[in-house]
Amino acid sequence: MNLTFFGAAREVTGSCYLVESEGLRFLVDCGMFQGGKAAEIKNRHVPRFDPETLDFVLLTHAHIDHSGLIPRLVNLGFRGRVYCTDATVDLLKVMWPDSAFILEKEAEWRNYAKHKRRGELKTETAPLYTVAQAQAALKRLERVAYDEAIQPHERVRVCFRDAGHILGAAIVEVWLQEAGQTRKLVFSGDLGMPSRPLMNDPTPIHEADYLLVEATYGNRLHKTLAATIEEFVDAINHTLVHKKGNVIIPSFAVGRTQEIIYLLTSFIRQGRIPPHTAIFVDSPMAEAATEVTLKHMGELDVDARELMAWTRHNDAGPYIRFTESVEDSMALNKISQGAVIISASGMCDAGRIKHHLKFNLPRPECSVIISGFQAQGTLGRKLVDGARTVKIFREWVPVRADLYTLGGLSAHADRDALLGWLGHFGRPPQTTFVVHGEEETAIGFAETIHKRLGWPAEVPVVGASYELKGGKAHLR
C-alpha cells in the first residue's frame, strides 16, 4: 500500500492524499491551494496523476481547500463517486458553483486587463473550471450518514465520524484489505475546538495503523472562549457606541459566519451589545449556507438549537439582514456608522469583503475583526501582520481602523486540543503523519507528539510517497 501527499504537506491548504493498493486507487480530499499567485500556479498543475484511474474519492468536508478541485478532477476524466456526509453534499451545491463563478470572473478580468495592456489577445486565460463543470461534478456526490459503515470497494470499508469543525465535517476511518490483512488508516480532516459554539466536540478515535492529523494551530493555544467573548463584546461596543463607526468582519461563508451570527444573537439576548445593532450578512453563499445549517439543526449542539428556537419565537430578536443583490451590497458602503458587516472571503482575498475594507479601513472610527486563520500571502495575513497600507483593487489603502484578532473563535483545534484528541488512542499508530500546517508549525507539532506521547511522527513534503508495509511507513 502506498500513500502519496499532493497537498497540505508543510502548508495549510490544498488537502489531497492518494492511496494505492494492488490496483486500487482512491483520493482523500482534493482541495484548492489558497494564498496569492503561488497558490494559483499550484492549482494549475493539479492533478499530478491520471483522474481516470481513480476508483473513488473520500471527502472530509466542504471547505474549498479540501474540496475545491474536485470539479476540475471530474472535468479531466474522473468518473467515480465522491463519498461525503449529507450536510457536505448540501453545502457543495452552494460552494462549487460559487467557486466556479469567481474563477470565471477572475479569468474574464485578467483577459480584459491583458487586452487593455497589449491590444489583441493571442491566448486567453481559462478558469480552472466553469459553473457548468461544477454543476456536472455535483452528480458524482454520494451521501453518507455519520457513523454509517459503507463499502465503496470490495476491499475497503469506510466510516465518517463528526469532526466538530464545520457542518458536515468528518474524520474518515478507512479499513483496507491487502494480501489477506486489514490495515486501518485514519484521516482527521480538520478537527474542531471542543466546547465551542454551534458544533459538537470531535469524535474520539481509539486506534489506527496509520494516522494523518492536521496541525493548523499545532504550535499555539487559542484564547479561552470566555476571554474571546469579552474581547468581541468590547470591540463591538467600543466601535458602535463610543467611536460611532462600523464593524467589518471578514468571514468564511460556511461555518464561521453562522458562528458569528450565533454569538451576536446571544449578545443581544443577554443585553451585552445594543439591541438595535444592525447586522448585515453580505454574502449570497453565506445566506445559502445558513439555510443549509438550519436544515441540519440536528447536527448542532444543544445550546445552538435552543438559541435558534428563541430567535424564531421572539419578535424583539436581532436585526439580521442578508443582502441579495450587488446593489444591496454597494449600498452598505453608504452606511457611516452603527453597522456590523459580515462578508466573505474569510482571508480577505476575494469577494465583497474587499469593497467593505476599501471603504472602512481608512476610517479610524471603524474596526476590523479577524476571526479565523489567515494563510501566508493573503490580504488578511497582511492586516494581521500589521501592514499600515494594503493594496485593494490596484489602489493603496491606508489602514487606520482598529484591528482585533479573535483567536478563540477558530474552527480548528489548538495544540492542547489536538493532543487531547490524540490521547484517546488506546495504542499509538505505527506512523503518524502531521499535515495541514505551515512547515515550522507542522515540524514543531511532530516533535511535540514525539515528546509528549512517544509516537513516531512524519512531516511529509508535497509529492512525498510512502510505502505502508509491516506497520511502518517507508519513504519511496
What pLDDT score was predicted for residue 120?
59
Mean pLDDT of 129-137: 97
Provide the residue ranges of all domains of the chain, joining segments of one domain with +. Answer: 2-220+411-475, 225-409
Q: Which CATH code of 3.40.50.1580, 3.20.20.70, 3.40.50.10890, 3.40.50.720 fits the domain covering 225-409?
A: 3.40.50.10890
> Which phi and psi angles does 204 have, rounded to 5°?
-65, 140
Q: DSSP label at 447? A: H
Mean pLDDT of 343-347: 86
What pLDDT score was predicted for residue 374?
85
- Helices 86-118, 131-138: inter-axial angle, 10-degree rounding: 160
DSSP labels for 193-241? PTT-SSSPPPPP----SEEEEE-TBTT--PPPHHHHHHHHHHHHHIIII
Tell me how many degrees the CA angle 451-454-455 measures, rounded to the nearest 5.
Answer: 115
Q: DSSP label at 298? A: G
Q: Which residues of 104-141 are buried (b: 16+ CB within 10 A; e: fewer)?
A: beebeeeeeebeeeeeeeeeeeebbbbbebbeebbebb
**For 296-338, what is each residue's pLDDT tens digit?**
988 888 888 888 778 777 766 688 999 988 899 999 999 999 9
336: helix, strand or coil: coil
Determine how many CB atoms are found less than 10 A away from the CB of residue 150.
Answer: 14
What pLDDT score was predicted for residue 284?
86
- Bin 470: left if φ > 0, else alpha if -120 < ψ < 50, else beta: left
Tell me how many degrees the CA angle 291-294-297 measures, rounded to the nearest 5.
Answer: 155
> Average pLDDT over the chain, rounded to whole?
92
Domain at 2-220+411-475: CATH code: 3.60.15.10
**For 26-72, what is each residue's pLDDT tens digit?**
999 999 998 778 888 899 888 889 999 999 999 999 999 999 999 99
Grid coordinates representing 384 are: 494581521
d(CA 84, CA 90): 10
Determine how many CB atoms are found less than 10 A away from the CB of residue 289.
Answer: 28
Q: How far is CA 61 from CA 4, 181, 244, 262, 475, in A?
A: 20, 29, 39, 21, 28
User: Could you tell me the pLDDT band of residue 122, with boundaries at 50, 70 and 90?
Assistant: low
> Which phi and psi angles does 55 have, rounded to 5°?
-85, -40
- Bin 459: left if φ > 0, else alpha if -120 < ψ < 50, else beta: beta
